[in-house]
């Protein structure tokens, strides 16, 4: 691809910068959680391109995500930190507070690239003091996937709100041929936790605030509970999680479900291990053509809505060779950004949309990157520009419990306790009423430290 010129660096300035870099070439270490061989090879190729451009070497070091926290803490204590870390959202604020990350360096990078070129929701989650803890690199937003052909035939609006979903259930739920929804109901699955957090966020409800636990508002939480009961009652019986949600949607027997964007290549018949079964051709893109996508979803008490997002960041450490580390992160988010996204385009949406000169260049080029395993096609060819726009728009309003108030650690403990899953399941099974459910949620979540 043609390199994209960096904001603020003209040709002469760039040449001087690269000449200076060649004269004082250094080696930096880069930790990454993308450790699968193919993804690692793509990162090494991008690092090699950075070396060719600047003379600085980058040692790419894979780190298992579940071990990242322990490794970083130990390296920090030993004074042996890498220079740059590709890390998930959950570490951004805690590491900045602990001194593991250098917020000033991250803020410098974002300001030089242009803060307005980043998705607002992603930047909001990275806010730290008067700057940013880490540089948002990529992410994905959870989706309501729905049969837009059936919605259009029935004269229904897209399922962008509780009310629109409930209206669709009234018209389309006709089991066993067609279920209105496949809602997550298996309490010991993380999938149910993610879906529930999405539904709670949609109505502006969170159990954490700036000071820790925040008591749930009974009226707003009751709206959440009643909505979740409605979609659960319109779902097949049993303990449902990601597998049934995908299988039943792929067979054409549900109008809606919630899933991550990693379903997009499978939905189009590009992965033999998970083919759509709506017709006799497992390689058919028919179902993809009949599918619509919603990322920003709203409840009656939160008309602006929210999107549930998983984000990854490029953090510059407190012990880094700061100049070279900043240069590498800027390269990864500019000239090398499409290479960064190409590691897994279906799950790496561009949180940086473009440049000052071309505000949508990264979105446009990302949408053309091939996805799929056994066959490949681009997202824009499969789903069209409107769906691509919807996918990335979710990052504008991306949220997670505790992310905007520095309480993700507490929120994670609450999620992992599965209290919300258990209480909601008891409510949808008619074992307790809404008032009792809200009381139990507040009592049990409030006890988590």
Whether residue 217 is predicted with pLDDT greater than 60 in this model: the reply is: yes
> What's the confidence (pLDDT) of residue 406?
85
143-294+418-447 fold:
D-Maltodextrin-Binding Protein; domain 2 (3.40.190)
Region 422-437: mean pLDDT is 98
Whether residue 23 is predicted with pLDDT greater than 70 in this model: the reply is: no
> What's the confidence (pLDDT) of residue 6?
32
The alpha carbon torsion through 322, 2, 361, 115 (nearest 10 deg) reads: 20
> What's the confidence (pLDDT) of residue 2?
30
- Among the listed residues 133, 440, 155, 191, the one whose alpha carbon sits nearest the alpha carbon of residue 308: 191
Region 270-288: mean pLDDT is 96
> What's the confidence (pLDDT) of residue 400?
96
Residue 179's Cβ-side half-sphere holds a number of Cα atoms within 13 Å equal to 23
DSSP letter, residue 158: P
Whether residue 414 is predicted with pLDDT greater than 80 in this model: the reply is: yes
> What's the confidence (pLDDT) of residue 3?
34
> What's the confidence (pLDDT) of residue 21?
43
Whether residue 12 is predicted with pLDDT greater than 80 in this model: the reply is: no
Region 319-336: mean pLDDT is 97
Whether residue 9 is predicted with pLDDT greater than 90 in this model: the reply is: no
Whether residue 206 is predicted with pLDDT greater than 50 in this model: the reply is: yes
> What's the confidence (pLDDT) of residue 86?
98
Domain 27-139+310-377 top-level CATH class: alpha beta
Confidence band (pLDDT; 50, 70, 90) for 24? Answer: confident
By percentage, how much of the chain surpasses pLDDT 70?
95
Region 90-109: mean pLDDT is 96
Region 230-241: mean pLDDT is 97
Decide which of 23 and 171 is more confident: 171
Give CA separation, 147 vs 75, 253, 377, 384, 436, in Å: 49, 10, 21, 15, 35
Predicted confidence (pLDDT) per residue in 354-386, tens digit: 999 999 999 999 999 999 999 999 999 999 999
Whether residue 8 is predicted with pLDDT greater than 70 in this model: the reply is: no
Average pLDDT across the chain, whole number: 93
> What's the confidence (pLDDT) of residue 15?
39
Domain boundaries, given as residue ranges, for the chain: 27-139+310-377, 143-294+418-447
**CATH topology identical between 27-139+310-377 and 143-294+418-447:** yes
Region 181-185: mean pLDDT is 98
> What's the confidence (pLDDT) of residue 13?
39
User: Considering just the CA atoms, what is the radius of gyration of the chain in Å?
Assistant: 23
Whether residue 10 is predicted with pLDDT greater than 90 in this model: the reply is: no
DSSP letter, residue 36: S
With H, G, I as helix, E, B as strand and everything else as coil, classify residue 29. strand
> What's the confidence (pLDDT) of residue 241?
97
Predicted confidence (pLDDT) per residue in 147-180, tens digit: 999 999 999 999 999 999 999 999 999 999 999 9
Predicted confidence (pLDDT) per residue in 384-413, tens digit: 999 999 999 999 999 999 998 889 989 999
- Among the listed residues 230, 231, 222, the one whose alpha carbon sits nearest the alpha carbon of residue 438: 222
Decide which of 289 and 16 is more confident: 289
């Amino acid at each position: 691809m043609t390199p994209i010129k960096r904001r603020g660096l003209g040709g002469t300035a760039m040449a001087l910068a690269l000449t200076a870099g060649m004269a004082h070439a250094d080696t930096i270490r880069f930790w990454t959680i993308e450790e699968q061989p193919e993804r690692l090879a793509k990162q090494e190729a991008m690092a090699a391109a950075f070396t060719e451009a600047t003379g600085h070497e980058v040692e790419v070091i894979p780190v298992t995500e579940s071990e990242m926290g322990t490794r970083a803490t130990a390296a920090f204590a030993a004074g042996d930190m890498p220079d740059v870390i590709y890390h998930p959202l959950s570490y951004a604020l805690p590491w900045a507070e602990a001194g593991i990350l250098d917020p000033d360096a991250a803020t410098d990078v974002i300001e030089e690239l242009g803060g307005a070129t980043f998705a607002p929701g992603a930047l909001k989650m990275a806010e730290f003091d008067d700057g940013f803890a880490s540089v948002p690199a990529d992410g994905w937003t959870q989706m309501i996937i729905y049969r837009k052909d059936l919605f259009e035939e029935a004269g229904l609006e897209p399922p962008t709100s509780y009310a629109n979903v409930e209206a669709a259930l009234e018209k389309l739920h006709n089991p066993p041929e067609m279920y209105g929804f496949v809602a997550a109901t298996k309490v010991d699955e993380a999938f149910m936790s993610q879906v529930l957090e999405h539904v709670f966020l949609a109505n502006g409800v969170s159990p954490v605030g700036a000071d820790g636990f925040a008591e749930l508002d009974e009226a707003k939480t009751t709206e959440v509970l009643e909505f979740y009961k409605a979609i659960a009652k319109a779902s097949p019986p049993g303990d449902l999680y990601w597998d049934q949600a995908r299988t039943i949607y792929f067979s054409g027997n549900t109008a809606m479900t919630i899933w991550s964007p990693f379903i997009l290549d499978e939905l189009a018949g590009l992965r033999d291990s998970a083919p759509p079964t709506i017709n006799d051709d497992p390689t058919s893109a028919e179902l993809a053509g009949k599918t619509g996508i919603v990322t920003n979803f709203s409840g009656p008490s939160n008309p602006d809505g929210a999107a549930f997002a998983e984000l990854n960041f490029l953090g510059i450490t407190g012990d880094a060779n700061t100049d070279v580390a900043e240069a590498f992160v800027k390269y990864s988010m500019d000239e090398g950004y499409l290479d960064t996204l190409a590691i897994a385009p279906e799950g790496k949406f561009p949180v940086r949309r473009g440049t000052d000169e071309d505000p949508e260049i990264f979105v446009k080029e990302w949408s053309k990157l091939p996805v799929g395993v056994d066959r490949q096609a681009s997202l824009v060819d499969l789903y069209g520009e409107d769906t691509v726009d919807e996918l990335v728009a979710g990052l504008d309003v991306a949220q997670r419990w505790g992310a905007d108030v520095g309480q993700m650690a507490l929120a994670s403990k609450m999620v992992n306790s599965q209290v919300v899953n258990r209480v909601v399941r008891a409510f949808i099974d008619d074992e307790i009423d809404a008032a009792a459910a809200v009381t139990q949620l507040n009592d049990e979540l409030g006890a988590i430290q």
